[in-house]
């Protein structure tokens, strides 16, 4: 991978773009090399480096878009918090609803809506940052092998297990030998 900030010479960058375009059309390296006057090894290397450059460019665009989305969410969250902090007067049929003492009745609906909005913004931010991604759990080979060993021991020992208790075996209510012979 080239060092950060590295820019290939214009002719090399142009050649890599041609190699990438031709490989996208499934043209063999040998044919691309013959067309461009290079070896197949150089064509392969140009293709790999062109893909790396493309990935870096796409990663840069993705990071920029995530940062832009996060800024938009920050603005929306600040606005929702401003709504949450205000007192909202309850209005019904175009008139302010008042308590018996004449003070206005506060409306909780805008506050609750602001809380819902803040939660949605938080959920979106968590998705953008990958905070809600499922955790990967790896089972090591040692643990896997221990589980297989225990399963094998259990399977081998199943035939040796005696029924618990002191009663006759199932299907032999009297515990007689005759019941075993007829089975």
Distant-in-sequence, close-in-space partners of 116: CB < 8 Å, separation ≥ 6 = none
Per-residue pLDDT at 102: 95
Structure tokens at 161: 């297990």
- Residue closest to 78 by CA, chosen among 45, 108, 114: 114
Instruction: State the pTM of this model.
Output: 0.52
Per-residue pLDDT at 167: 53
Per-residue pLDDT at 168: 55
Q: Give the integer Cα–Cα distance in Å for 91 and 98.
A: 9
pLDDT in tens, the chain (183 residues): 555 655 567 789 899 999 999 999 999 999 999 999 999 999 999 999 999 999 999 999 999 999 999 999 999 999 999 999 999 999 999 999 999 999 999 999 999 999 999 999 999 999 999 888 777 777 667 777 888 888 888 888 765 655 555 555 555 555 555 544 554
Per-residue pLDDT at 2: 56
Domain spans, the chain: 10-129
Residue 124 · residue 73 · CB < 8 Å: yes
Distant-in-sequence, close-in-space partners of 99: CB < 8 Å, separation ≥ 6 = 105
Q: Give the integer Cα–Cα distance in Å for 89 and 60.
A: 47
Per-residue pLDDT at 114: 96
């Amino acid at each position: 991978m080239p060092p950060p900030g590295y820019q290939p010479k214009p002719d090399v960058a142009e050649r890599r773009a041609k190699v990438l375009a031709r490989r996208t059309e499934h043209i063999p390296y040998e044919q691309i090399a013959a067309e461009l006057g290079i070896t197949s090894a150089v064509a392969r290397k140009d293709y790999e480096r062109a893909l790396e450059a493309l990935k870096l460019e796409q990663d840069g665009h993705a990071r920029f878009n995530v940062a832009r989305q996060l800024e938009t969410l920050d603005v929306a969250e600040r606005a929702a918090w401003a709504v949450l902090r205000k007192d909202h007067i309850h209005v019904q049929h175009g008139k302010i609803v008042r308590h018996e003492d004449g003070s206005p009745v506060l409306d909780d609906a805008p506050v609750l809506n602001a809380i819902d909005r803040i939660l949605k913004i938080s959920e979106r931010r968590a998705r953008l940052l990958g905070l809600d991604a499922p955790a990967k759990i790896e089972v090591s080979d040692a643990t896997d092998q221990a589980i297989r060993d225990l399963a094998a021991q259990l399977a081998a020992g199943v035939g040796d297990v005696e029924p618990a208790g002191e009663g006759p075996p199932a299907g032999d209510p009297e515990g007689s030998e005759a019941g075993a012979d007829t089975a």
